[in-house]
Structure 1
Amino acid sequence: MKPFFYFFLCLFCVNVFAQHTPKVTVAGENDLQLTDVKVTVEIVGNLAVTTYDMKFYNGLDRTLEGELVFPLAEGQMVSGFSMDVNGKMRDAVIVEKELGRVAYETTIRRKIDPGLLEKTEGNNYRARVYPLFAKSHKHIIVKFEQELSTLNGKQSYELPLGISQNLDAFSVEMNVFNAQSPTVSKANYKDFFFQKKGEAFTAKTTKNNHAPTQQIVIQIPNKTNQEKLATYNGHFNYYKALQPNVRLKKKPTKITILWDASYSMSYKDLDTELKVLLSYLEYVRNVKVNFIAFNNTIQTEKELIVKDGNTTAVLDAINNVQYDGGTKLNVLESVRIKADEILLFSDGLANLGDFTMKQKIPVYAINSLVTANHQQLTAITTQSGGNYLNLIRVDYAKATQLLKMETYQFLGVIHDENVREVYPKQRVNVYQDFSISGQFSKDTELTLLFGYGGRVTQKIPVTIEASNGTNAVKRLWAKQKLARLNRNKIENKKEITSLALKYSLITDYTSMIILDRIQDYVRYKIEPPKELKEEYKKYLEVVKNEEMLQKERILNRKKQLFDGYKTVLDWYQAKIVVEEEKPVSNAEAQTTATSQQEDQQVTVAETQTIETETAIQTETAIQTETNTNTQTAVQINEGVGELMTITGTIVDDEGMPLPGANVVVKHSNKGAITDFDGKYTIQAKKGQQLEITYVGYGTMQKEITSQTVNAKMELGERLEAVTVVGYGGSVNSAKIAYSVATVSSEYVKQYGNPSDEIRKIRETIEMLISASSSLSENNKPLFFINGKISNQRNFRKIQEKEIAQLGILKNEEATAIFGSKARGGAIYIMTKKGMVKNREAINAFNKKMVSNIEMKSWNANMPYIKELEKETTIANAYTKYLEIRKSYVKVPSFYLDVADFFHSRQATETAITIITNLLEIELHNYELLKAAAYKFEYFKRYKMAVLAYEKVLELRPEEPQSYRDLALAYEQVGDIQKSYDLLSKLCDGELLQKDEDGRFTGIEHIAYVELTRLVNTYKRKLKLKRKIRKTFDKMPVDVRIVIDWNHNDTDIDLWVFDPKGEKASYQNQRTKIGGRMSDDLTQGYGPEEFMLKNAIKGEYKVVVDHYSSSEQKVSGPTILKVALYTNYGKENEQKKTAIIRLSEDVDELEVGNLVFE
């Protein structure tokens, strides 16, 4: 796995956590340095395009993945994204969001350079960038566009900078086309002024070793009633600067104030918001105020009186608000509002339910944060006849004035048949600017309608005539149409996606992606930037056959899926005869936990010569109803049916592919060796055994139950897990996250002659070299001898007795360390003489490998809990929590631990509020959403869990876990049909195309068990035909244990020790008493499942083996959900759930015990 860190960049002065400087922050480290900034601004008419050209320097000794997060102001939209790929700048292209994320994450797992820019909640954007090489710069360009507004006859453009650190190079250039001479109203540069150059006015400045702390503001004359028409290719855009008549509205006698008290609101400009509110209330003079503070629930509701302009009571109520938790706007549905108008103080970012307004009451939204859902706030206020007061764009005096006035609106348009698709279609609040776009077939006229309260008071005629405009006219039309579609974005998803792909718009359903290789653009059918299009077309012709093969693979996987369901049924229907043995005590079971696997491996090796007899003894205890003789077991080992093609992937104990592993069909001459990706193909029969071996790892046997057999190897007990470093030092292999096979001199010291082990690796490498002989020179492995690049000829000259250490790296890991020259993988040898003569080169070689993967462990110390325990009351503890939270703002484990603290003291509502902070840490972080959903389920707040899981499905529709998690949550709230629909989609194989690489193969079998139970438990609540219902045979079991976790690319194994001491695991999937362990899901999330149809009495110990991910995540440590069932699928079913935070430094952890009586 890659070293994984995040950096955060605020380009535009303010974000949710009130950063004021563009900076790159690395988890646990100093900021990455922003060294160069070049800003270019081009303004044509009322459209401004701003380009930030930036370079960041990674001064650390390891490669990082970065995350550049920035909010845009109201009306701004990203229009371009570029970064350097192999030394050249490459532009991003628009792609469907789900496809872009799949392409990015698949590519980054192969250590190839991708970039992905996504729109998150509101008007916030996130760019994921990889790699940021050690001691190197990363060049990134972001471009955004906006329509300028007019105030007092002038258009204003503001460039917020606020960069406090010195930059090596800084420059700004502004070009204003086809306009009167602009003026610089604010700037800290004497040489920054406008001069006429051709058709443009230009101003620029360049500085070295400079900190640009001050903003730049320019103004462009734009007289009232000035109008501009632009047309292009059947599209038009009309702009007019208006001067609406001022009309005072009637003073309200009742006002409801809805005050957002979620945690993100603690960063707003409270002083300015209060100035607006208090000034308005003083103007109204006498009014009843219903004050409601809310976050994930209603925190406060008070009836207040403002008399003769005295606002003291309102101010006191606001000053007592504590900002904590997430935003659940739909909690306001429970409030009955009786008022003349509503003042909503919020950023509109609802992470748990949207705002709905049933009463027809004008809503005025007041917001002072850049990071806000401007679109949502505009829609809420415009529909109601109110107004959105964005205090980033208007000062408090103007905002107060707008509160006093009737809202002037665009009410519609009159046109003939020559005009179509005119936007906006809905009412729009108008201040001093208005623009409208549409399509036309020939020159024509239309009439714009404006007025107050739905009554037309002004009509403006417009003549549409064809002219020589630019493609920008079509883009402006597309953006206006997009705004209309976004009002019901879920229903309009397909149309939004189609529009965005056609007009290169980044939306909630589209992203911008940069890929390194043309093969990746071809694989995902993503049309590349211009310079690659010709090559792209050539490749498309080549891959047509691959598409047919892919369809065949999907069909084969569907067949395997249903074969797997039959395997589950066969297991369930088999009769188990349990021999009477003395039960193993819990202590004895604990003792065997660490040694059982090794014992099993030794037994296999010792009994290999009498395997048939051993197999009979093992299998005769399991007898089917139709065949009770002992020969059945022998037939299973020999295989049944015709030969079929078996494929799979062999990985190590950290989930990394093992190249060169031997895969043999037992009792045959058939064998295969895995390639650099750990993949193999072999011919065998169903029921036969595969024996898998790899140097340094224990032998593994897997029964063939389908056409895909994957395996995860564990280190053997003989080879030392060290690699030798120069100067006699050593590096623990646990620090190396790559697939490395090594034989070290430490082995020689302990066990003598290593020639057998060396010979095995040597033979493996020779086979890999032979296999690569047909490849192009660029795809052959890279050879290292004694830390220096060499060639295969020199490699073959080295005698085995001269070798001190040798090994191989698969292509992705080799590329990550040594660059594109190692795209074919890497093979290395250290000789005994070289260890002395080439110490420096060998030391540098080993250091380079380790420096790319070394991680700081997560700090699991919890001093904050000790502080809370000192408090004697819940109220005091909560106050203390708010105090110490400042030091742990972005630490997810803090909120999890503190929530558990309050829950243990019966303050569950407080615990829930604290948990919802997870949704405020980072917008659209699906792993934090999952963690919060787990806790909501634990606290039995299933409706909140559904909201969280619905958001996860929206964010990650490519992952089958998203469907299963939501399906199970739907059952908890009684939406049985919805639960069935999602589970059946998963079980029917409809999602297989989304998981091309088979990362989560096996989850369907677990979902099948759950779907079977659902159908048989809720027959009357499901609209199913009898024929379909009959296909789901009842499968109740005495014991069922399931684990899920919230992290992607993280491997956790479930172990269950039964009362006889036998361990069920992915290596022992069928226990003697009839237990069944599900397939091993190594790529993240789970689930993994243990089932036992007829349980024997006693204690079942549940242990997880946590393979710590090499990713240090913003979402913090892995959160595990453990569900323990007795009598699953029966009327007396019982379930207990535990939510556990896993520490990075703990591998094996006992997470529960189940006693069956």
Structure 2
Amino acid sequence: MKKINCFMATLLFSVAFAQFPILEIGNEKKHPVILQEAKIDTKILGNLATTTATYTFYNPSNRILEGKLTFPLPEGVSVSGYALDINGKLRNAVPVPKERAKEVFESIERRNVDPGIIEKVEGNNFRTRIYPIPQNGSRTIQITYHQELKNFASDYQYFLSFANATTIPKFNLKVWISETAAIPKILENPDGSFSFQKQGNQWIAEISKNDFRPNESLKITIPKNQNSSNVVLQKASGDKYYFAANVGLDFPVKEKPKSQKIAIIWDNSFSGSKRNRDKELQFLNAYFNDNKEVSVSFSLLNNTFEKAEEYSISQGNWADLKNKILNLKYDGGTDFGALKEINGVEECLLFSDGISNFGDFIMKFKKPVNSISSTPTSDFNLLTLLANQSGGNFINLNELDTSAAFKAYKKLPIRFLGFKENQNMQELFPNIGLVISEPVNIFGITTGNVGKLTAVFSVGNEKFESPVDFSKAQLLENWQISQFWAQRKINELELNSTQNRQEIKNISEQFGVVSKNTSLIVLDDIDDYIRYKITPPQELLAQYQKVIANSENKVLEKRKILLSKAFDKTKELKTWWNTEFKPLEKKKYPKVANQSVAEPQANAVMSEVVNSGRVDMSMEIYSDKAIKKSQDSNGKITLIDIESTEEYMQDFQNLQSADVIYQKYLENRSKHEKQVSYYFDVSKLLFKKGDKVLSLKVLSTLAELDLENEELYKTIYYLLKQRGYYDKELWVTQKILEWRPFDAQSHRDYALALVDNKKPQEALNVYKSLLYQEFTDEISTRDNGIEEILIMEINNILKQNKNIDGSKIDDRLKADLPVDIRVVINWNKDNTDIDLWVTDPKGEDCSYSHKSTAIGGRLSNDFTQGFGPEQFLLKKAVKGKYKIKTNFFGERQNMISGPTTIMAEVYLYYSDGRQERKIAVFQSQKENKKESDSKILIGEFEF
């Protein structure tokens, strides 16, 4: 019997720091989940603040939902605590390597129990995944983060925005401020009654409301206490202490000389439309008011780099340039790898969020780059790295007004050179030599009482000193100075995250701070912690250690490798290949229940498909170059191009030129902004019109719709492969492998991209490592049978590349298996069931329920839960017509990544020297609607 996956919808939350949580559920007009309760607690000491936000979400629907909440945090801030309710009680998360946390989460999720993870994705953005949110039930999450408040002349400032907040049934807000004599001032008040009262040495303010909608955000200024210590300590091990020292920089600001020729690089990718353009224009206005005579080389960055125009600014008049910026169109992904040095300029202003989702940043600028951020979702580390490496300044418009931002731009960078008396100081952050903001917090580890020290800084060629009195340091018990220190260390290590990967992982796991390499996870019960070898939180630790100590009761995770099954599969394939098949006369085979057939002819138009009553597929076909194609090939591949039936395509029907189609796409985009098929279909249309540049730009925009979304990237990968953009195919598959190394498909896709890029030796090495890769029992079961596909591809590499070193491939995996027909289908979603059907000229179907045919057709294992793939092989084709069909059986409802995308790789004479490939990429158009009786003809062979 065919297995039907249980229905599950994916709930998408999106929230920005400085914004209250907003719940988005695909394209539905009403949110099926509501924010039932919000509780926010903030503790402030000097300019250090710790905020804990607790949210309860209620699901009034009759569906089980998976929750996904993505939110940015300010520059330098990470998540340092996470908890999820288990059996009505909040359970703290524990640190786990990022890819491992995702693997465990998805393995457990299949059992419909209660895991939760929080991970760092691109930029300084964080994502929590919760499953399940029960029907007519609720789930509670708690997130903790530490931040350093901005210093002003006489006070610190704390800001918490309630922008976009709706009415909340239960709302509680409480702020504690310690060690300040003067009463804090509230500049913005959520309901007018929020006020501070003195309790001992603390100022406390609290409101608790029902059915509350904040009138304003919360903004507090905290007067500096001149008599209190500027150094705080937390006990570490032995005689060591973690410290935080707030150091004032009491020396004159040095301004850099004005430039006469500058470059402006303006990121006009799709995400650029989300930046705060008003703030950016205000900054430029301040610049040209100060620098009235300057030449500007203006360039654009999206998935390409375009040097647009030259401007000569006279008497501060930049109207033409401003008009150019105001009329820019924002589209495409972001490829920092496309950046080029701009000659003849003295410095550069880069306006971008710093998130490069279509290529890696590879160049080093020879002239200073001032990177400017105006959106809270930015990659602050990359923008800071760009500025530091080149001698420029990083300007954060999210936290600075125009005046302060322009002052930060004009000054010469200040660098921290360490302490004069450094014998008892370890692990100082900022690192010695790095550019710092002023005033500065210095974190580190010290031993004993080090007395009065002197911090040294440099501006240009001059050095300056500031005293730091450790003799008056305050020892704290309830403040996690160690996590502040770890957060700062991770931030600086992440400036070179690839090189520092292992050290970031070690620090993150030791201190429980989320990083690019480490996530926090909550599991349902003690057995899961034991099975996956994850040390549980404190409340479960004694039970965990007791079970571990008792070896009889020890529950171990099952890890499997593919190698032993691959040996068996190779034998099986050899036996099949050496079998002589003698086809009988045409026979009729009974139809399988619930698997009806709809077969439009090869030249079918879309209306015939619609009338079939099955799932409609939209696809595109472009032939790859034949590999060593022989003149005596007598086979032919015909793939069917089925037009999209989406309503928006009617707007493009009578448009002929690619430019006009593109303008209509931009005009209508706001109505379909998060509809994946819109970009898919328009990109296809532009490619058919012959405009590869615009087609690729629209396709790359898919990367901007979500952060680290493998389903979107797989759709991009399929189309890149089909259209021959092999360099970008390699980059995209490498990113997917980085995010999901626990999927066999990620390794296989990367290996196939290496083959396309004429790197067969590297591809063979990937296949070899894949066969030795350990997989969880759940994933191994999900992908059972993938070895058959891998064996064919390994041996094809060996057959097609005679000079390759195959000595590291076990001889038991080697087999010469040329076939006349090979078809492989892949799809972009987990928990999805797509079936491959091939009907031979005798009328016999090869399908999941009938895997071998009289003429020797062979179908691989039926994948009902994962990403596929499924494969059809036929050693010797008989004369006649073969029909290739797919059956869309069911999918997980992940709305952000749109309908399921399928890639069919269709080969003639596979691995016999005449190999020819064509690729079809198509999508289901019945988005989020399951059709169990749906089969569609996608192509034919003719011999």
Aligned match of 1:1091 in 873, 880, 886?
Answer: 873
The residue aligned with 2:442 is 436
> Cα distance, 1:192 vs. partner?
2.0
Matched, 1:1142 2:928: no
Q: CA deviation at 1:490?
A: 2.2
Q: Which of 480, 486, 491 does residue 499 from structure 2 map onto?
A: 491
Bigger mean CA deviation after superposition, 913-922 or 427-436: 427-436
| Residue in 1 that maps onto 2:703 | 919
1:305–1:313 CA contact under 8 A, matched in 2: no
Is 1:178 the counterpart of 2:179? The answer is yes
Counterpart in 2 of 1:5?
9
Question: Would the aligned equivalents of 1:191 and 1:204 in 2 still touch at CA under 8 Å?
Answer: no
**2:228 equivalent to 1:228:** no
Q: Report how far residue 365 of structure 1 moved.
A: 1.2
Tell me what 1:612 maps to. Answer: none
User: How many residues are treated as equivalent by the alignment?
Assistant: 881
Partner in structure 2 of residue 297 of structure 1: 304
8 Å Cα contact 2:146-2:484 kept in structure 1: no
- Encode CA deviations 1:290-347: one digit per residue, 9 max, x unaligned: 11112111245222221232212311321232101111111114x5444211111000
In the aligned structure 1, how far is the partner of 2:260 from the partner of 2:134?
Answer: 63
Structure-to-structure mapping, 1:700-715, within 5 angstroms: none
Please report the RMSD computed on the Cα atoms of aligned residues, expressed in angstroms. Answer: 2.9
Q: How far apart are the structure 2 equivalents of 1:1133 and 1:1034?
A: 14
**Inter-CA distance 218–519: structure 2 relative to 1 (3 Å threshold):** same
1:919-974 deviations in Å (ceiling 9; x for gaps): 11111111111111111112211111122111111111111100000111112123
Partner of 2:372: 366
Letter in 2 for 1:210: F
Does 1:1153 find its partner at 2:935? no
How many Å separate the matches in 1 of 2:469 and 2:856? 82
8 Å contact 1:3–1:65 — kept in the other structure?
no
Task: Name the CA shift for 1:1007/1:543 in 2 (closer, same or farther; >3 Å).
Answer: farther
Tell me, which stretches of 5 or more residues in structure 1 are unaligned? 599-696, 698-713, 717-733, 735-859
Superimposed CA distance per residue, residues 671-710 of structure 1 (whole angstroms, 9 cap, x where no aligned partner): xxxxxxxxxxxxxxxxxxxxxxxxxx8xxxxxxxxxxxxx
Pairs within 5 Å for 1:556-575:
558-572=563-577, 574-575=578-579
2:479 counterpart of 1:478: no
Residues 17 and 72 of structure 2 are in contact (CA less than 8 Å); yes or no, is this contact kept in structure 1? no
Q: 3-state SS of the aligned residue for 2:204? A: strand
Matched AA of 2:657: T
Corresponding residue number in structure 2 for 1:28 = 28
Query: Which string of whole-angstrom CA distances, capped at 9 and with x for unpartnered residues, describes residues 399-453 of structure 1?
Result: 1222222222224555655433333325433332212233345554765331224
1:886 paired to 2:670: yes
- 1:1133 corresponds, among 895, 909, 915, to 915
Name which of 362, 371, 374 aligns with 1:356: 362
Q: Give yes or no for contact 1:330–1:355 (8 Å, CA) kept in 2.
A: yes
Per the alignment, in what secondary structure is the counterpart of residue 985 of structure 1? helix
Is the 1:186–1:217 Cα contact (8 Å) retained in structure 2?
yes
Q: Equivalent residue for 2:458? A: 451
- Tell me which amino acid in the other structure corresponds to 2:535: E
Corresponding residue number in structure 2 for 1:949: 733
Matched, 1:255 2:37: no
- Counterparts in 2 of 1:873 and 1:25: CA distance versus 1, 3 Å: same
Tell me the percent identity: 32
Within 5 Å, which residues of 2 pair with 1:533-682? 533-542=541-550, 550=558, 554=560, 558-572=563-577, 574-579=578-583, 596-597=590-591
Deviation digits for residues 216-266 of structure 1, max 9, x if unmatched?
111112379973242522133222132442222111122111111111111
The answer to whether the aligner puts 1:963 opposite 2:747 as a matched pair is yes
The higher relative CO (CA closer than 8 Å, separation ≥ 6) is in 2
Structure 2 distance, partners of 1:26, 1:188, is 30
Q: State the alpha-carbon separation in 2 of the partners of residues 976 and 1092 from structure 1.
A: 25
The Cα of 1:1083 is off from its aligned counterpart by 1.6
Q: Which AA in structure 2 matches 1:935?
A: L
Change (3 A) 1:96 1:151: same
Partners of 2:754 and 2:456 in 1: how far apart? 47
Cα drift, residue 462 of structure 1: 4.8
Q: Give the aligned residue type for 1:28.
A: E
**Which amino acid in structure 2 is aligned with residue 914 of structure 1?**
V
Contact residue 1052 and residue 1106 of structure 1 kept, 8 A: yes
Q: Give the corresponding residue for 1:191.
A: 193
In the other structure, the counterpart of 1:998 is 781
Deviates more, 1:147-156 or 1:222-231: 222-231
CA 1:1097/1:270 → structure 2, altered by over 3 Å: closer, same or farther? same
Change (3 A) 1:284 1:977: farther
Residue equivalent to 1:762: none
Decide which of 382, 385, 393 is 1:387's aligned counterpart.
Answer: 393
Deviations 1:1067-1112 (A, max 9, x none): 3333222222212222221111112222223322111122122524
- So what's the TM-score if we normalise by structure 1? 0.72
Equivalent runs, 1:400-411 vs 2, <5 Å: 400-411=406-417
Q: CA separation of 1:999/1:164 partners in 2, compared to 1, >3 Å: closer, same or farther?
A: closer
1-structure distance, mates of 2:365, 2:125: 30
- Report the Cα distance in structure 2 between the residues aligned to 1:1023 and 1:13, rounded to whole angstroms: 53
Whole-angstrom distance in 2 between the partners of 1:443 and 1:542 = 46
Cα deviation, residue 463, structure 1? 6.2
| Partners of 1:228 and 1:924 in 2: CA distance | 39
Counterpart AA for 1:214: E
The whole-number CA distance in structure 2 between the counterparts of 1:549 and 1:204 is 47
Q: Secondary structure at the match of 1:498?
A: helix
Larger Rg belongs to: 1
Residue 1032 and residue 9 in structure 1: after superposition, are their counterparts in 2 closer, same or farther (change >3 A)?
Answer: closer
Is 1:331 the equivalent of 2:338? yes
TM-score if structure 2 supplies the norm length?
0.88
- AA aligned opposite 2:782: R
In structure 2, the gaps of 5 or more residues are 597-613, 615-643
Q: Tell whether the 8 Å contact from 2:13 to 2:67 is kept in structure 1 after alignment.
A: no
Match of 1:559, SS state, is: helix
Give matches, 1:751-790, under 5 Å. Answer: none
Q: Which residue of 1 aligns with 2:795?
A: 1012
| TM-fit CA distance, 1:517 | 2.0
Q: 277-286 or 1026-1035, which moves further after superposition?
A: 1026-1035
* Cα pair 1:280 1:404 within 8 Å, conserved: no
Following superposition, the deviation at residue 43 of structure 1 comes to 0.9
Q: How does 1:1019-1034 map to 2 (within 5 A)?
A: 1019-1020=802-803, 1022-1025=804-807, 1032-1034=814-816
- 2: CA distance, partners of 1:909 / 1:1151: 31
Deviations 1:1107-1150 (A, max 9, x none): 12252432111100001111222332110001010234554433
Q: 1:196 to 1:428 in 2, by over 3 A?
A: farther
In 1, distance between residues paired with 2:811 and 2:311? 59
Task: State the partner residue of 2:104.
Answer: 103
Cα 1:1141–1:511 shift into 2, 3 Å: same
User: Per-residue deviation at 1:396?
Assistant: 1.2
In 2, Cα distance between equivalents of 1:1108 and 1:1074: 29
- Kept in 2: contact 1:296–1:916 (CA 8 A): yes
Tell me by how many angstroms 1:890 deviates: 0.8
SS in 1 for 2:544: helix
1:526 matched to which residue of 2? 534
What are the equivalent positions in structure 2 for 1:980-995 lying under 5 Å apart? 980-987=764-771, 989-992=772-775
Q: Is 2:938 aligned against 1:934? A: no
1:531 partner SS: helix
Question: Which string of whole-angstrom CA distances, capped at 9 and with x for unpartnered residues, describes residues 774-830 of structure 1?
Answer: xxxxxxxxxxxxxxxxxxxxxxxxxxxxxxxxxxxxxxxxxxxxxxxxxxxxxxxxx
> Conserved in 1, the CA contact under 8 Å of 2:231 and 2:474?
no
Is the contact between residue 700 and residue 716 of structure 2 (CA under 8 Å) also seen in structure 1? yes
1:109/1:196 Cα in 2 relative to 1: closer, same or farther (>3 Å)? same
Question: Which structure is higher in helix share?
Answer: 1
Cα distance in 2 for residues equivalent to 1:79 and 1:516: 21
Rounded to whole Å, the distance in 2 between the matches of 1:500 and 1:21 is 26
